[in-house]
Structure 1
């Protein structure tokens, strides 16, 4: 049902003005549960709430749809976020190994090309930069240069498959780094939609609560149902 709610609301969520969109101010699972509780609580007060101007259809009847959409949007974001966090951990583990592999390959090339100034100049050019992105490009350049000059490596009985491995690592590491960077940028489409779904849900909850708190400001037993238990803690 949450998936259907999400599909129903997606266009509306995408059209929310950016300046209104806020990141969750409390845990989403807590908010979703409070929304479900609020929907049940408000039923008993329908006449009173409508009587002082609450748009019942737009806020109360729509509340379960907003709740389901938010729950599903959070699930999508969690799936993507945890995938990114796993990528960040994997990158932290693989990056030092990849840098060391690149350095070893460069040392191999310097030895194999020691009598070829033209090729040594190419090696110096490859080795010139630093940083993760440069290392990834270096592995690709090393692979291409190494496989293009088998004679020099044959003379030292070198395993040419290492150059294939360098290119493979370059491709894999590029993808891994992109995913790992996403874990820190925190600006994915999934997060944006989750924030929009939370904003949309909170709009209805705030309207219902504010109306309920006003209507039952002198009735503690009904008033308490319009207060966030999370905020009250």
Structure 2
């Protein structure tokens, strides 16, 4: 029987209540992308259900993964709830936030790689990861921009696009201006954020062993085995920023 994400959350809430905050782990990518990748991974397992059962997978536990996805989706939506006084501001926020999430993910993964031998910078990256609210996210964008701008040599050695560093600061300013006019921001609730992160932790710790099992089951079919992974998102090409002429501004205003 089909269920809603809210019903999925209520079904697993007792498991979240049993978890400690110290048990929370990161899914290592923007959460909304992890949700979709998780569902795709489950669909692949379902296609090979009989074989996986023959290879000793506990399918009763595997069948609960969509419920954990639904719970995480519900809590992610609740935590992401933000209201604006007009539709245009909300549209701008969603577009900029989406771009910024992918950009920050790219910057942080790159930082982990190029500064792996620098404990000071690795420590600063860890501090940047600590925040969870929209305000924290906006500050993180600028913090990592400053950190990379002040330590560019390792980035240049891998020919990293330094325009990404500047873009992070620009998006930080844009999102900050938009957040300032928001009439509701649920991301400021620490209790809600903890509940969300517990749900994602439960999903990850349930899904990862099943994916490992599936890769083992199909280890002699390497191309098929490689499909049982949760892949990180790819950034879309950055659109060039152009200044609007007065005529363009007037035209865009007249269309509202």
TM-score (norm. length: structure 1): 0.51
Partner of 1:66: 68
What secondary structure, in the 3-state scheme, does the structure 2 residue paired with 1:210 have? helix
Alignment of 1:18-33 (within 5 A): 18-33=21-36
Take 1:68 and 1:201, find their aligned partners in 2: how far apart are those partners?
Answer: 10
Structure 1 residue 38 and structure 2 residue 34: aligned? no
CA distance in 1, matches of 2:83, 2:52: 39
Q: Do the aligned residues in 1 keep the contact of 2:41 with 2:229 (CA within 8 Å)? A: no
Task: Mark the CA change 1:44 to 1:85 in structure 2 (over 3 Å): closer, same or farther.
Answer: closer
CA 1:12–1:226: 2 relative to 1, 3 Å = same
Contact 1:3 1:69 (C-alpha < 8 Å) held by counterparts? yes
Whether the 8 Å contact between 2:9 and 2:72 is mirrored in structure 1 is yes
The reply to whether residue 223 of structure 1 matches residue 225 of structure 2 is: yes
Structure possessing the higher radius of gyration over alpha carbons: 1
Structure 1: runs of 5 or more not aligned: 90-181
What secondary structure, in the 3-state scheme, does the structure 2 residue paired with 1:226 have?
A: coil
Contact kept, 8 Å, 1:77 with 1:190, in 2: the verdict is yes
Q: Which has the higher helix share?
A: 1
Counterpart of 2:7 in structure 1 is 4
Task: List gaps (5 residues or longer) in structure 2.
Answer: 85-132, 139-185, 236-256
**Deviation per residue, 1:36-77 (Å, 9 max, x gap):** 11121011222332233322111x210110000000111111
List structure 1 segments (4+ residues) > 3 angstroms apart after TM superposition: none
CA contact (8 A) 1:24 1:195 kept: no
